[in-house]
Structure 1
C-alpha cells in the first residue's frame, strides 16, 4: 500500500503535495462531505417520514436529533481514542460504521429502528468529523495547512448545501429510503481511498500508552446530552424539563472537572485551557456557529412570509449562501496560508458582523437582493473565519493531542449550532410577537428578523473582541 509520509518543517519551496497525499486528502474530504450530508439531508425528509410511519412531528424529529446527539456527546471522546489507539484504524472503523448504519436506516421497518440506526450513523460521523482535521498534520506539509483546512471547509459547505436539494430529488423520485441509501456507495468509495492512501498509525512507545478515561468520557457524554436536550426539547418553549436538564448539565460540568483533575490519564487535560489562544479559538467557534444558525432558523420563515415564496424557491434562495461558502473554501485557505491565520480570523469576523448588521436594518422593500447579498457576505466570511480559526488552533498542536483538540473544535461548533437553533429561534419568535410564527404577518416577521440579526451582530462583535485580545493574534507569522 502507498503510505504518504510528510516531513514536518520542510521549506516552503518544497511544500508540495505528492499524488498519494492528494488521494489521502480526497478521502478526508469525502469523510467531511458524508458527515455533513448526513446532517442536512434528513431534515427535508421529515414530512415524508411522518407520513410513512404515521408519526407526529415530535417523533420524527428524533431522526435528526439522534444523529446530532451522537455526534455532540462523543466527538471529543473519539478524538482522544484516536490519539491513543491510532487515528487510521479508528477512522476506517468510523467510515464502516457510518456506511453500515446508512444501510440499516434505508431498510428500517419501524421509526424507532430508524432512530437507533441514525444514532449509530451519528457515532460514525463523530469519528469522521473528529479525525479528518487531526489527519491534516500527517498528510500535508505545514505550509499547506490553511489550504487543506479550506478544502475541508468547502466539502462541509457542499454537504450542507447539497443535502436539502438532493434529498428532495431522491424523495420525489425514489422515496425516503433513498436519502439514506445514497450514502452507501459514497461510503464505500471513501473507505477504499482511506484504506489505500491514509498514512499508517505510528507505533507508540510504552511511555506514550495511556489508559482510556472511562469515567470522564461517561460524565462528558451525559453532560453534553443533557445540555443538547435542554436546548432542543419543547419546540421553542422553555419549561421545567428544560430547567432540570440545564441543571443536570451544570452538575455534570462540575463532576467532570473534578474527575479530570484526579484522573491519571484525563480525557481532556484541563491545563490545555490555560492556553488563551486555544480557549479564544473555541469560544469564537461557538459564538459564530450560534450566529450561523440564524440564517437557517429565520431564513425560511422570512422568505416564505415576507416574499410569499414557495418551498422550492425558499430552498433555492437558502442554498445561495452555502454554495458561496463552498466556492470560497479553497481560496480562503490560500489566503490563510499567505497572510496568516489570526489576521484572516479577524477579517472573517468583520465580514460576518457587517453582513449581519445589514440584515438587521434592511427593510422588506429592498426585495430578495436585500436578503441574498448580505447573506452571501456572511457565509463567505464564515468560510474564511472557519478555515482561519481551524488552522490557527490545529497548526501547532502536538501529534498526541490532535484528535482530542480536533474533537473539541468540532464540539464547540456543534454546541453553537444546537444553541443557535434554540436561542435564535426563541429570539425570532419573541421579537415577532407571534404565538405561531407560521401564520405571522409580514411586519411581524420582518421585525423578528431584524432583531434576531441585531443580536447576532452583537455576538459576533464579542467574538471580534476576543480575537483582537487573543495573544495569538500578535504572534508573528512563522515561516518554515
Structure 2
C-alpha cells in the first residue's frame, strides 16, 4: 500500500511539473508575452520547489510527516487549480511559484517516511515505486498537457487540481502518522551543521549533484539533437521521450529483483558504469533507432540507480530525513540548471551529440569517483567477513 501511495503522490506532483511545457505557446499568446519570457512559468514552479525545500526539510523533521504531507498537498491542489483562473501573466507566475512551494512540502515526506513505514528489505523497492511515479509522469505529463490544452488552457490545471484533491482524500484515509524526532527540533542551522559535519555525507551530496548535472545535461537536449541530426518532428520526439520515460519507470519498479540478486552496492556501481557506456556510445549511433535504443538503455540504468541513490543519502540520518530529501531535490534542480546552461553551448560548438554526451560522461565518471571515495561501493565493517586468525 505504501508503495502505491508513494507512486500516486509522486505521479501527481510530477505530472504538474511537466504539464506546462507543451502549453507554453498557448499561454504566451494568451498573456501576450514572448516565447522566451513564457518559460518563466516553468522556472517559477522549479524555483519555488527548490528554494523553499531547504526550509521545509528542517521544519518537517520535527513534526508529524502525515500532517506536513496533507497540508502541503492541500495547498498544492488549490494553487494548481488557481493557475486555471489566472487573469494575467504575473498572476500565473505567482500561482506557479505557490504550487512549487507547496510541492516542496510533499515529496520530502514521501522519501523520509518510506524507511519508517516499510521493512528494511523493502525500502529500495518502495523508493523504486516512488521514482517510477515521477518517471511515468514524464511520459504522461507532456502529452496530457497538450491534449487537455486543446480543449482550453484552463482545463489541465483544473484536472490536475482535481486529481490532487482525490489523491489527498486517499492519503487522508490511509497514510499513517509518522512522528518527527526530537533530535530534529534543535534548530534550522544546527540540522544542516550536523549533516555537513560528516565528510562522508558531503561527498555523497556532492556526488549526487554531479551525477544529476550529467544526467539532466544529456536529457535536456535529446529532443534538439534528434530533431537537428535525424529530422524528427515534434510527435516523433515525444514518442522517443515517452519510450525513455517508460524504460526508466520499468526498471524503477522491477529493478528491485536485480538489486536483491547483486546487492545494492554492486548494482549501483554497475548502474553508473552502464550509464557512462550508454551515453558515451550514443553520439556514434549510425541511425535514430540505435540512438534511441542506447538512450533507452541509459534510462533503464537511471531507473535502477535512482532509488539506490536516494536510499543511500537518507541512510545517513534518522533525525533529518526530510532535510536530506529536500537537499536532494535542490541538488537535482541545481544540476538541471547547470546542465542546461552548459549543454546548450556544447550542442552548438560540437558536432551532433558529442559535446553534450562527452560532458555527461566526464561528470558521471567524477560522480562514480566521489561515490567510491565516500565508500558507497564498500560493505560496512560489520558486514565484512572477519580476517582469518593465526593458528
TM over 0.5: yes
Is residue 210 from structure 1 mapped to residue 182 from structure 2 by the alignment?
no
**What is the CA-CA distance between 1:282 and the residue it aligns to?**
1.8
Aligned residue for 1:68? Answer: 46
**What is the CA-CA distance between 1:478 and the residue it aligns to?**
7.5
Is residue 466 from structure 1 mapped to residue 385 from structure 2 by the alignment?
no
Q: Is the 8 A contact 2:274 2:301 kept in 1?
A: yes
Are residues 128 and 453 of structure 1, via their aligned partners in 2, closer, same or farther at CA, if it must alter by over 3 Å?
A: same
> 57, 73, 86: which is aligned to 1:108?
86
Q: Is the 8 A contact 2:200 2:374 kept in 1?
A: yes
Aligned residue for 2:299? Answer: 379
> 262, 267, 275: which is aligned to 1:339?
262
Superimposed CA distance per residue, residues 151-187 of structure 1 (whole angstroms, 9 cap, x where no aligned partner): 1111111112211111111122x12222212212221
> 319, 322, 332: which is aligned to 1:403?
322
Q: Show the 5 A alignment for 1:126-165.
A: 126-165=104-143
**What is the CA-CA distance between 1:453 and the residue it aligns to?**
0.5
Aligned residue for 2:226? Answer: 303
Q: Show the 5 A alignment for 1:164-243.
A: 164-172=142-150, 174-202=151-179, 208=183, 210=185, 212-213=187-188
Q: Partner of 1:408: helix, strand, or coil?
A: helix
Question: Aligned equivalents of 1:68 and 1:380: distance in 2?
Answer: 25
Q: Partner of 2:317: helix, strand, or coil?
A: coil
Is residue 357 from structure 1 mapped to residue 332 from structure 2 by the alignment?
no
Higher relative contact order (CA 8 A, sep 6+): 2
Question: Aligned equivalents of 2:295 and 2:12: distance in 1?
Answer: 25
Is residue 51 from structure 1 mapped to residue 7 from structure 2 by the alignment?
no
Aligned residue for 1:282? Answer: 205
**What is the CA-CA distance between 1:211 and the residue it aligns to?**
6.0
Superimposed CA distance per residue, residues 288-309 of structure 1 (whole angstroms, 9 cap, x where no aligned partner): 2212223443222222222222
Give the structure-1-normalised TM-score: 0.75
Are residues 289 and 204 of structure 1, via their aligned partners in 2, closer, same or farther at CA, if it must alter by over 3 Å?
A: closer
**What is the CA-CA distance between 1:119 and the residue it aligns to?**
0.6
* C-alpha RMSD over aligned residues: 2.0
Q: Partner of 1:85: helix, strand, or coil?
A: coil
Give the structure-2-normalised TM-score: 0.92
Aligned residue for 1:454? Answer: 358
Say how many residue pairs are matched. 383
Q: Partner of 2:353: helix, strand, or coil?
A: helix
> 13, 38, 61: which is aligned to 2:16?
38
Flag as ranges the 4+ runs of structure 1 deviating above 6 A. none
**What is the CA-CA distance between 1:338 and the residue it aligns to?**
4.5
**What is the CA-CA distance between 1:96 and the residue it aligns to?**
0.3
Question: Aligned equivalents of 1:107 and 1:65: distance in 2?
Answer: 19
Question: Aligned equivalents of 2:360 and 2:376: distance in 1?
Answer: 25
Q: Partner of 2:354: helix, strand, or coil?
A: helix
Question: Aligned equivalents of 1:292 and 1:203: distance in 2?
Answer: 33
Superimposed CA distance per residue, residues 190-217 of structure 1 (whole angstroms, 9 cap, x where no aligned partner): 2112211222243766xx573653xxxx
Structure 1 unpaired stretches of 5+: 1-21, 214-259, 261-265, 432-446
Is residue 416 from structure 1 mapped to residue 391 from structure 2 by the alignment?
no
Q: Partner of 1:321: helix, strand, or coil?
A: helix
